[in-house]
């Protein structure tokens, strides 16, 4: 009975040599391909992806999924007796036209591949793109674009082409980072006293500042109104918020306690008549 049914289907011609039976077989091949692709991707995500970097796992997963679907599609077309050589010729011309029209898309795709190979930053790294004025956490490097979560909580999508050609400053590669601040003290105050007071205050009130390497103090400039001292302190890389934003506060507190003046900009006007 089922055999007869299939024979009936084989006798129903749709277009040219395309019968209802061959279409059914093609449908089964495609459905099988889709199901296989989903199962393989699921198994990949469950067992293999956790051992890979997140970006690589994501892109390899897509490659496997779409690879199986393309193979299924080729099997489907050959099962239908469709000759792809004509399409190939037309496809060649079509590809040139599409190539011109989608230059940026292809460029982003290629850049994405190179980003995955080069790995200038990985998922979760805190990065800065100085040319674009973007700082934040790298969420992923996708096929065409990369996503960065900025410190204000918003997510920005950057086309891979721009990301690849941009200067990328990684803020999480080193074990420690340095915070800096500049302060001016009055010419009448003693520099050594000021440095001692600041050093002491940093030690007492900034627990995330490293004792080794020691905080560094440089008399940077004998300015118009003040002696400018640069203060450089090291902190664990993840504790920027416990160092840089409060460094100036600690310096101000230290100088206030020590009675050292932070002078306002001032100008001496000399009157030749007097």
Where on the chain is the footprint of another protein (CB under 8 A)? 173-178, 203-204, 207-213, 234-236, 238-239, 242
Residue 148 near residue 156 (C-beta atoms within 8 A) = yes
CB of 28 vs another protein, minimal distance in Å = 51
For residue 164, the minimal CB distance to another protein (Å) is: 24
d(CA 125, CA 141): 12
Nearer to another protein, 41 or 235 (CB): 235
- Measuring CA to CA, which residue among 131, 219, 204 is closest to residue 169? 131
Residue among 49 and 210 whose Cβ is closer to another protein: 210
Least separation in angstroms between residue 236's CB and another protein is 5
168, 127 in Cβ contact below 8 A?
yes
Comparing CB distances to another protein, the nearer of 67 and 245 is 245
Q: Compute the distance between CA of residue 135 and CA of residue 240 in angstroms, rounded to an integer.
A: 13
State in angstroms the smallest separation of the CB of 210 from another protein.
5
For 177, the 3-state DSSP assignment is strand
Output the CA–CA distances (angstroms, integers) from residue 74 to 37, 41, 65, 66, 131, in the order listed: 14, 20, 15, 12, 45
Instruction: Give the shortest CB-239-to-another protein separation in angstroms.
Output: 7
Of 164 and 234, the one with the shorter C-beta distance to another protein is: 234
Structure-block tokens of residue 38? 């989903």
CA–CA separation, 219 vs 51, rounded Å?
A: 50
- CA–CA distance, 118 with 274 (Å, rounded to integer): 71
Nearer to another protein, 147 or 178 (CB): 178
Q: Whole-number minimum distance, CB 148 to another protein, in Å?
A: 23
Greatest alpha-carbon pair distance for the chain in Å reads 124
Q: Which is nearer to another protein, 178 or 252 (CB)?
A: 178
Tell the smallest beta-carbon distance from residue 216 to another protein (Å): 13
Which residue lies nearer to another protein by CB, 76 or 234? 234
Which residues on neighbouring strands pair with residue 156, listed in sequence order?
A: 148
d(C-alpha 136, C-alpha 1), whole Å: 66
Residue 259, CA distances (Å) to 198, 256, 266 in order: 12, 5, 19
């Amino acid at each position: 009975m089922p055999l007869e049914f299939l024979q009936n289907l084989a006798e129903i011609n749709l277009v040219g040599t395309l019968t209802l039976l061959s279409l059914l077989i093609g449908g089964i091949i495609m459905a099988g391909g889709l199901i296989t692709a989903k199962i393989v991707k699921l198994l990949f995500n469950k067992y293999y992806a956790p051992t890979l970097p997140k970006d690589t796992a994501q892109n390899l997963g897509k490659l496997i999924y779409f690879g199986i679907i393309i193979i299924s599609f080729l099997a489907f077309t050959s099962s239908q007796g469709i000759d792809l050589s004509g399409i190939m010729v037309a496809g060649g011309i079509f590809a040139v036209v599409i190539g011109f029209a989608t230059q940026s898309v292809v460029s982003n795709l290629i850049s994405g591949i190179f980003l995955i190979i080069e790995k200038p930053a990985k998922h979760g790294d805190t990065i800065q793109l100085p040319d674009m004025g973007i700082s934040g956490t790298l969420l992923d490097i996708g096929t065409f674009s990369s996503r960065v979560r900025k410190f204000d909580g918003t997510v920005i999508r950057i086309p891979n082409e721009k990301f690849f050609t941009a200067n990328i400053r990684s803020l999480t590669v080193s074990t420690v980072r340095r915070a800096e601040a500049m302060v001016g003290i009055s010419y009448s105050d003693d520099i050594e006293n000021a440095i001692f007071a600041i050093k002491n205050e940093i030690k007492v009130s900034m627990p995330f500042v490293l004792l080794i390497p020691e905080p560094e103090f440089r008399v940077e400039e004998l300015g118009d109104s003040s002696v400018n001292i640069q203060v450089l302190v090291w902190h664990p890389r993840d504790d920027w918020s416990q160092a840089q934003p409060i460094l100036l506060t600690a310096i101000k507190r230290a100088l206030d306690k020590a009675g050292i003046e932070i002078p306002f900009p001032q100008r001496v006007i000399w009157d030749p008549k007097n």
